[in-house]
Amino acid sequence: MKKILFSFIAFLGVFVCTYAQVEVRYGIRGGMNLSSWQGETMQSISDLLGATDGAVTTQSRVGFHAGGYAAIKLSDYFTLEPGLQYSLKGTELTGRLNGNSQVIDFLNVNTTFRVQSHYIEMPILAKVYLAEGFHLFAGPQVSYLVDNKVHVRASVLGISAFNRTLDINNGFQKWDFSGVAGIGYRFVNGVNIMAAYDYGFQRLDENKRFNTYNRTIKFSIGYEF
């Protein structure tokens, strides 16, 4: 998949050089991520806690993204937009130990498992303008995992009993490949807003034993110079 993407980038470069009259504008963009893991690993954790009278809640990991891009205008209706950005992804689970015992209920044992995945992303988006400023977009994205940490916290009676941050880089894929799609609007002054969904195709597990993938909703605001 990486070879396909790099071949596409090379083709894009040749295309731009061949048609040098196309308009190219540069911009910056940033915004919020709502990330989670989806697949059999997350389901297995839920099933395990359910079998032991536990309750688990999966939440989106709130992060952010920021970077720059080039808007290559090929016509009034079509633009190619390669970019490079930093993105904080991950997932979050909150578990509570339940049971028929009044002692267990009194202890109020809770655990939070929060993953922080730091990526460098390179999306290549094709934008189709349907009306003045309003557009749809889609394209591939390759991401490189820079750092991966998990923050584990446990509490009893509302008091913190365990609080540690662990490095979990080993065993995770360094490269992720995903598809991106969404909608956006570009104002005449260069300000633009976007809402996108990243759908990961690459298994997070380096040994490919578990079908678990990145999923991210993004809300962005940008400016073209």
CA dist 85 and 70 (Å) reads 12
Note whether residue 178 is domain-resident.
yes
Q: Using alpha carbons only, what angle is made at residue 215 by residues 72 and 179, rounded to the nearest 5 degrees?
A: 35
**Separation in Å, CA 154 to CA 53, 133, 157, 182, 212:** 17, 48, 10, 38, 25
Note whether residue 145 is domain-resident.
yes
Note whether residue 189 is domain-resident.
yes
- Is this prediction's pTM over 0.75? yes
Residue with tokens 């009993």: 161
| Three-state secondary structure call for residue 10 | helix
**How many domains does the chain divide into?**
1
Report whether 68 contacts 28 (CB < 8 A): yes
- What is the model's pLDDT at position 51? 47
Note whether residue 170 is domain-resident.
yes
CATH number of the domain where residue 196 is located: 2.40.160.20
Note whether residue 18 is domain-resident.
no
Host domain of residue 85: 2-11+32-224
Report whether 206 contacts 173 (CB < 8 A): yes
Report whether 215 contacts 182 (CB < 8 A): no
Note whether residue 128 is domain-resident.
yes
Q: What is the chain's length?
A: 225
List the pLDDT tens digit at each of the 225 positions of the chain. 556 555 655 656 555 555 556 889 999 999 999 999 988 766 666 555 554 455 667 778 999 999 999 999 998 899 999 999 999 999 988 776 555 554 445 445 677 888 999 999 999 999 999 999 999 999 999 999 999 998 888 766 566 666 788 888 888 999 999 999 999 999 999 999 999 999 999 999 888 777 889 999 999 999 999
Note whether residue 143 is domain-resident.
yes
Q: Where would I find the H helices in 20-155? A: 40-51, 102-107
Note whether residue 135 is domain-resident.
yes
The answer for residues whose C-beta is within 8 angstroms of residue 74's C-beta and 6 or more apart is 19, 22, 80
Report whether 85 contacts 124 (CB < 8 A): no
